[in-house]
Chains A and B, each alone.
Chain A
Amino acid sequence: MATFYGTEVASRLMLGTAQYPSPAILADAFRRSGAGIATVSVRRESGGERAGAAFWDLVKELGVRVLPNTAGCHSVREAVTTAQMARELFDTPWIKLEVIGHADTLQPDPFGLVEAARILTDEGFQVFPYTTEDVVLADRLLEAGCEVLMPWGAPIGTGLGLTNIYGLRTLRAQFPDVPMVVDAGLGLPSQAAMAMEMGYDAVLLNTAVAKAGDPAAMAEGFARAVEAGRLAFEADPMEPRDMAAPSTPVIGKAFLE
């Protein structure tokens, strides 16, 4: 069980809810993967008279915990307002905080992120900040009151996998007790498995599943990889070594000729 802000979650796979061919296929992906948490963007879909309500109701009907996000927010103020709206809509103190600093790479704005995290934790939010693998930034976010970190694997939607393995290992090692979720940039289940093998507590992805030819099958593939990676981490893997060491002893083996 992974624990985020005191809440235990059975599945270590979190899925986004955008870009699926239809809400029915989105629901299939959740069913087949058993994903435990759904992230939902509230900014873009907002509008007068709760115009996005029909879709939000479909997400609520998935029966999983909802983690609303501030996707696409480019300023502290925008992110804070969106978080406040999300709290009302989904009746949860959880917020995945995105403050985008660069339009093309969608790289987080580290300065705005810390500022927004501080404002939101002061207001009683439980913040899941979308961050980079930078350890100094991680430290500042923890200081600001975050109890979970969500470092990226690669820029959002790229499917490049873990582009800075060294950085992610360092981050994990520096804060062994902080729940951490690799969020964004994953394209394949093997990449998710790798993040889990490194000791990350969960992974979050969207595009890799939503844009697959068969989203539900891909979601299940990720769920199995996440499980495999976690099992491997808990099993304490062997260390790689240079010297070959056969698993069957050669001494005493009969000559074949």
Chain B
Amino acid sequence: MTLRATIVGAGVAGLCVAAELSARNVEVTVLDRAEHPGPHGCSWWAGGMLAPFCEGETAEEPVVRLGQEAAGWWERQGVEGTRNGSLVVALGRDRRELDRFARRTEGHRTLGRDELAELEPQLEGRFDRALHFPDEAHLSPRDALGHLREALEARGVRFVSPENRPQGSACPVEGREAPILGDGSGAARAVGPDGGAERPGHWTFDCRGLAARDVLPDLRGVKGEMAVLRAPDVELHRPVRLLHPRYPLYIVPRGDGVFMLGATQIESGERGRATVRSVLELLSAAYALHPAFGEAELLEVGVDARPAFPDNLPRLRRRGDTIHVNGLFRHGFLLAPALARMAAEYVCDGKTPEVMDENHG
């Protein structure tokens, strides 16, 4: 029997789940209001660092382990990423921050002044020490979303707006308040290999991010602000994190002299309104990293809220025929591949995922 799945939301979570399911010959329909990936979704504003080891500074173990799947996964989807590692630096009086960061992370080596200059000639003389995480990667989130969506369409995955969804298909989602329901169509069910639990033949994957707060009350928004600059005079080949006790910053090169600066992390579900204070902090930190950013052109200021559970770890949550894929926090591009794999393994092979905290069949 062919399994069918309706995926609600075409952000990074929804697209990754669609990719994993369609690779397992599940018939996939994605419901999304927009024709293309765009600024309506928080994936659009992501940094695109695939930096599981660096994230380990504050994130818990599953992030480091599961995040290591990401770079290879995106490559297999044909998304052009850069495997150039990443760098961590600190300014003079914050040098001890670098020691702390090194103690709390793995997969790095310490670079002296000359080694740093070899890797990133433009940082020569600016820092006498840096941490290099050679196995990390980065990608351009917007290109990745666009590419993945096109590739899925080419593979026969249907993208429909909720208003035009076919009769009898699952999942009303027009408004925030609309409940996510199971299929309800009485579709054929199969017996799963995990001991006879009844398994639906048509699943719904709720990948709406923060909008799923209507059914996931423990989900909260964590506001993030970012900026995009064009600085043709600056050349960096890999993401650089600047450790600072007040204004931590990362800069991701997007190519063609374009750089993404991120990101604030504020306990607020507000999705608009980047504040002057936050943007000042981001720009000042960039300027401190390299004065040539002072002459950069400010292309874009972005803001959105990341969906997060109280431990900032992602979850799969099954309720009836619906599986919620959510809580990716600041790790969308890093963890969506692993989460999608586990979701697909669950419905196709009956394998219970480690990140599933609720399983009500």
Interface size on B (CB < 8 Å)? 21
Q: Which of B59, B221, B312 contacts A24 (CB 8 A)?
A: B312
Q: List 5 A-B contacts (CB under 8 A).
A: A45-B267, A52-B267, A53-B269, A54-B221, A54-B269
Q: Which of B231-254 contact A (CB under 8 A)?
A: 245-246
Determine whether the beta carbon of B310 is less than 8 Å from that of A58. yes
Q: How far is the CA of A53 from the CA of B246 in the complex (A)?
A: 23
Q: Is B223 an interface residue (CB 8 A)?
A: yes
Determine whether the beta carbon of A22 is less than 8 Å from that of B312. yes
Q: Which of A21, A51, A53, A55 contacts B312 (CB 8 A)?
A: A21
What residues of A have a CB within 8 angstroms of the CB of B311 in the complex?
22-25
Determine whether the beta carbon of B221 is less than 8 Å from that of A51. yes
Chain B nearest CB from A157 CB (Å) reads 6
Q: Which of B58, B59, B104, B223 contacts A51 (CB 8 A)?
A: B223
Determine whether the beta carbon of B310 is less than 8 Å from that of A51. no
Q: Is B270 an interface residue (CB 8 A)?
A: yes
- B195-236 CB mask vs A (1 if < 8 Å, else 0) is 000000000000000000000000011010000000000000
Q: Which of B86-137 contact A (CB under 8 A)?
A: 103-104
What residues of B have a CB within 8 angstroms of the CB of A58 in the complex?
220, 310
Determine whether the beta carbon of A51 is less than 8 Å from that of B270. yes
Chain B nearest CB from A50 CB (Å) reads 9
Nearest chain-A residue to B58 (Cβ)? Answer: A21
Q: Is B25 an interface residue (CB 8 A)?
A: no
Q: Is B266 an interface residue (CB 8 A)?
A: yes
Q: Which of B220, B246, B273 contacts A54 (CB 8 A)?
A: B220
Q: Is B352 an interface residue (CB 8 A)?
A: no
From A22, A25, A46, A213, residue with most partner B Cβ within 10 Å: A22
Q: Is B268 an interface residue (CB 8 A)?
A: yes
Using A22-B60, A47-B268 as known contacts, list a sample of 14 further A-B pairs with CB atoms less than 8 Å apart, ordered by residue number in A.
Answer: A21-B58, A24-B311, A24-B312, A45-B266, A45-B267, A45-B268, A47-B270, A49-B270, A51-B269, A52-B268, A54-B221, A55-B267, A58-B220, A213-B104
Q: How far is the CA of A191 from the CA of B343 in the complex (A)?
A: 49
Q: Is A27 an interface residue (CB 8 A)?
A: yes
What residues of A have a CB within 8 angstroms of the CB of B245 in the complex?
157
Q: How far is the CA of A27 from the CA of B312 in the complex (A)?
A: 13
Q: How far is the CA of A45 from the CA of B59 in the complex (A)?
A: 22
Chain B nearest CB from A98 CB (Å) reads 15
Q: How far is the CA of A21 from the CA of B308 in the complex (A)?
A: 12
Q: Is A48 an interface residue (CB 8 A)?
A: yes
What residues of B have a CB within 8 angstroms of the CB of A44 in the complex?
266
Interface size on A (CB < 8 Å)? 20
Chain B nearest CB from A97 CB (Å) reads 20
- B36-80 CB mask vs A (1 if < 8 Å, else 0) is 000000000000000000000011100000000000000000000
Q: How far is the CA of A229 from the CA of B55 in the complex (A)?
A: 37
Nearest chain-A residue to B308 (Cβ)? Answer: A22
What residues of B have a CB within 8 angstroms of the CB of A213 in the complex?
103-104
What residues of A have a CB within 8 angstroms of the CB of B273 in the complex?
47-48
Q: Which of A206-245 contact B (CB under 8 A)?
A: 213
Nearest chain-A residue to B273 (Cβ)? Answer: A47
Determine whether the beta carbon of B310 is less than 8 Å from that of A24. yes
Nearest chain-B residue to A48 (Cβ)? Answer: B270
- A63-107 CB mask vs B (1 if < 8 Å, else 0) is 000000000000000000000000000000000000000000000
What residues of B have a CB within 8 angstroms of the CB of A49 in the complex?
270
Q: How far is the CA of A121 from the CA of B60 in the complex (A)?
A: 44
Q: How far is the CA of A43 from the CA of B235 in the complex (A)?
A: 37
Q: How far is the CA of A54 from the CA of B267 in the complex (A)?
A: 8
Chain A nearest CB from B182 CB (Å) reads 27
What residues of B have a CB within 8 angstroms of the CB of A25 in the complex?
311
From B220, B266, B267, B270, residue with most partner A Cβ within 10 Å: B267
Q: How far is the CA of A24 from the CA of B312 in the complex (A)?
A: 8
**Given A21-B59, A51-B223, also A27-B310 (CB < 8 A):** yes
What residues of A have a CB within 8 angstroms of the CB of B312 in the complex?
21-24
Chain A nearest CB from B334 CB (Å) reads 16
Q: How far is the CA of A119 from the CA of B23 in the complex (A)?
A: 66
Q: How far is the CA of A52 from the CA of B266 in the complex (A)?
A: 9
From A23, A48, A213, residue with most partner B Cβ within 10 Å: A23
Q: How far is the CA of A31 from the CA of B311 in the complex (A)?
A: 15
